[in-house]
Amino acid sequence: MSTASRRTLWRPAFTLGVVLMAAVVLIAVLPPIFVTGAATAITDDTALPPGRGHLLGTNDFGQDNLARVLVATRLTLVMTVCASAISVVGGLVVGVAIWLAPRTVREWCLRLLETTVAYPTLITALIIAAILLPGATTAVFALGIAGIPGFARVTANLAGRTARSEYFLTSRFLGVGSYHLAVRHMIPAMAEPLLVLATTIFSATLVEISALSFVGLGVQQPQYDLGSLLNDSLESLYTQPIEALGPAVMIVLASVAAMLIGDGLAAHADPRTARTWSPRTPEANAAASPAADDEALVRVRELAIRGGEDRRTLVKGIDLHVAPGEIVGLVGESGSGKSLTAMSVAGLLADDLDLEAAELRVGDMNMKGTPAAAQLAQEIALIYQDPGTTFNPSRTMGPQLTEVLRTHSGYSRREAREALIEALATVGIDQPELRMKQYPHQLSGGMRQRAMIAAAVVNRPQLLIADEPTTALDVTVQVEVLRIFHELRRRLGTAVLFISHDLGVVGELCDRVVVMRDGAVVEELSAAQLAAGDVADPFTAALLDAVPQIDMSRGLPEGSRS
């Protein structure tokens, strides 16, 4: 085990859990040897308050409450361990067996498990306890069996995931036997999540086995466990409340310990990087003061962005401008800082990144400050890459696409709808009225991207920031989306900051290209220079070499039209 993974496991909470559990186990093992007498002997010291000799007082029979709690812990713990073992082993066998069974059997079994799991464990346990005679052994079997479906279901789901993995399919294809598959491949692959689940089962069983005794259907007189002790104390809650304290604390202690251990194991299996939070303060001034002769729409000077725990420099010394109506490409590998730069321009940089710039403005808005939301929304539009998740999946397209019009531009619902239907038609979407009523998943990727563009341009923004808008699309759809951008600029004169890792796409569209690498601008080229291959930086040359040439003037290649 590496030091790093050891650190994620032995966090304070997990350590506390282990210590508490160790204490509970010690209590279960050691004291019963010494105090059984005080716990069971009936004396005349009945219902004593807490005091010397009897830290938790005595009960109605003159038995020492503390001693009884210590003794009861052992029985509770033994029963819990046995019942959990039945659930885990039974669940494992059933779960794996289901996955090795033929398909139809498997599906019926899985469906059955789903239904069984929804049935409360305690009631299943009650049924079993009713069939067998109440007692400690019955309680163990009742909860052990009642816990099997839950464990089996998770095992079956995990096994399903393993069974679909490539190495498993390969082994099966190579003729490895079912037993061998289960023992050698399936169970080891599921070990960690199942261990976490086992601690959960332990904690749940502890609580429920005590519940069974608590309602009087578990451990019977003269035996006693924590649950039955708590029930006894209930009757004397008005006269001798201290009697409830021992069993209550003990159950909570054991349950919390199991939970802490389970959480610790889960966190170890799925470590989330702890993030530190130090937000930057925006500048108070939201209005920009551009130099008198500066005609540019977007002006970025000496932009630097730092972030992470070590405040690493992510982007530095960026100078960038976009003239009104100009299409500027921002190109670089992933991680070159092009999206961070674009998001800074949009005023959407994550709050915990530090931003410095001599100037950062769009029109008359100082993007280092916090310009009014309405102005931002109307003047800067954004289009993202579409992996199918850019729209809210639980709302229809209409309300989402008209969001800016309704929220920031004072359109009524109907006006916004009409404006958008028109815009959808101009970007080449058929049946726009229908699309407005559809959910995002009912549209194709190309259609969603066009809808996104329509929603952006309907506000007539000054600046359109497009972050890899064509990356997730088919090549033919890409070409069409690029045409829409051309068309937009021609009709509306919208300036575009177009981010891409694809020099080919950028070369077709942009007037000017800014190449970034490792958080800095490497070089800046005009479209003509790019087309001629007239590049100075070797990195740009390498990028350019990697581009398959698409000549849009000759139209689409034969046969690629849908």
φ and ψ of 149, to 5 deg: -55, -45
In DSSP terms, 322 is beta-bridged to: 298
Q: Which is nearer to another protein, 436 or 503 (CB)?
A: 436
Q: How many CB atoms lie within 10 A of CB 106?
A: 17
473 lies in the site for another protein, by CB under 8 A: no
Q: Which stretch binds another protein (CB under 8 A): 83-91, 116-124, 147-155, 506-514?
A: 116-124
Rounded least distance, CB 309 to another protein, Å: 10
Q: Which is nearer to another protein, 97 or 342 (CB)?
A: 342
535 lies in the site for another protein, by CB under 8 A: no
509 lies in the site for another protein, by CB under 8 A: no
Restricted to residues 483-502, the positions that interact with another protein (CB under 8 A) are: none
What secondary structure, in 3-state letters, does 352-404 show? CCEEECCEEEECCEECCCCCCHHHHHHHEEEEECCCCCCCCCCCCHHHHHCHH
Rg (CA), the chain: 34
What secondary structure, in 3-state letters, does 518-545 show? CCEEEEEEEHHHHHHCCCCCHHHHHHHH
Rounded least distance, CB 61 to another protein, Å: 20
User: Which residues, 6 or more positions from 12, have their beta carbon under 8 angstroms from its beta carbon?
Assistant: none
334 lies in the site for another protein, by CB under 8 A: no
102 lies in the site for another protein, by CB under 8 A: no
Please work out, in degrees rounded to the nearest 5, the angle formed at the alpha carbon of residue 468 by the alpha carbons of 557 and 472. 60
Contact 287, 364 (CB under 8 A): yes
Q: Which is nearer to another protein, 3 or 239 (CB)?
A: 239
561 lies in the site for another protein, by CB under 8 A: no
Contact with another protein (CB under 8 A) among 22, 89, 252, 546:
252
Restricted to residues 187-246, the positions that interact with another protein (CB under 8 A) are: 203, 207, 210-211, 214-217, 227, 230-231, 233-234, 237-238, 241, 244
Q: Within its chain, how far is the Cα of 375 from the centroid?
A: 33
User: DSSP 3-state assignment of 251?
Assistant: helix
Q: How far apart are CA 314 and CA 305, in angstroms?
A: 5
Rounded least distance, CB 554 to another protein, Å: 31
Q: Which stretch binds another protein (CB under 8 A): 31-39, 70-78, 107-115, 294-302?
A: 107-115
553 lies in the site for another protein, by CB under 8 A: no
Q: How many CB atoms lie within 10 A of CB 214?
A: 23
Rounded least distance, CB 293 to another protein, Å: 31
Q: How far apart are CA 445 and CA 473, in angstroms?
A: 7
Contact with another protein (CB under 8 A) among 350, 528, 541, 546:
350
Q: Say which DSSP state 442 is in.
A: G
CA distances to 98, 169, 177 from 174, in Å:
21, 9, 9
Q: Which stretch binds another protein (CB under 8 A): 119-127, 320-328, 359-367, 413-421?
A: 119-127
Rounded least distance, CB 263 to another protein, Å: 7
Q: How far apart are CA 139 and CA 122, in angstroms?
A: 11
The residue among 138, 143, 110, 99 whose CA lies nearest residue 124 is 143
CA distances to 17, 25, 77 from 13, in Å:
6, 18, 22
Contact with another protein (CB under 8 A) among 39, 86, 88, 346:
346
475 lies in the site for another protein, by CB under 8 A: no
59 lies in the site for another protein, by CB under 8 A: no
544 lies in the site for another protein, by CB under 8 A: no
Q: Which stretch binds another protein (CB under 8 A): 29-37, 108-116, 147-155, 409-417?
A: 108-116
Show the site string, 431-470: x = touches another protein by CB under 8 A, - = not. x--x----x-x----------x------------------
Q: How many CB atoms lie within 10 A of CB 169?
A: 11
User: Which residues, 6 or more positions from 487, have their beta carbon under 8 angstroms from its beta carbon?
Assistant: none
Q: Which is nearer to another protein, 383 or 513 (CB)?
A: 383
81 lies in the site for another protein, by CB under 8 A: no
Contact with another protein (CB under 8 A) among 72, 136, 181, 376:
376
Q: Which stretch binds another protein (CB under 8 A): 50-58, 123-131, 524-532, 539-547?
A: 123-131
Q: Which is nearer to another protein, 227 or 363 (CB)?
A: 227
Q: Which is nearer to another protein, 171 or 400 (CB)?
A: 400
53 lies in the site for another protein, by CB under 8 A: no
Question: In this structure, is the dihedral angle defined by the CA atoms of residues 525, 528, 532 and 534, taken in order, positive or negative?
Answer: negative
In sequence order, which ranges of 101-135 are alpha helices (DSSP H)?
103-118, 121-131
Show the site string, 384-423: x = touches another protein by CB under 8 A, - = not. x--x-xxxxxxx---xx--xx--xx---------------
Q: How many CB atoms lie within 10 A of CB 285?
A: 12
Q: Which is nearer to another protein, 345 or 525 (CB)?
A: 345
282 lies in the site for another protein, by CB under 8 A: no
105 lies in the site for another protein, by CB under 8 A: no
Q: Which is nearer to another protein, 472 or 477 (CB)?
A: 472
Which helix or strand (DSSP H or E) is residue 498 part of? strand 495-500
281 lies in the site for another protein, by CB under 8 A: no
User: Which residues, 6 or more positions from 19, have their beta carbon under 8 angstroms from its beta carbon?
Assistant: none
With contacts defined by CB under 8 A, how many residues of the chain interact with another protein? 80
How many helices (H) does the chain have, and how many strands (E)?
23, 11
Restricted to residues 144-173, the positions that interact with another protein (CB under 8 A) are: none
Contact with another protein (CB under 8 A) among 181, 377, 479, 506:
377
Q: How far apart are CA 289 and CA 302, in angstroms?
A: 16
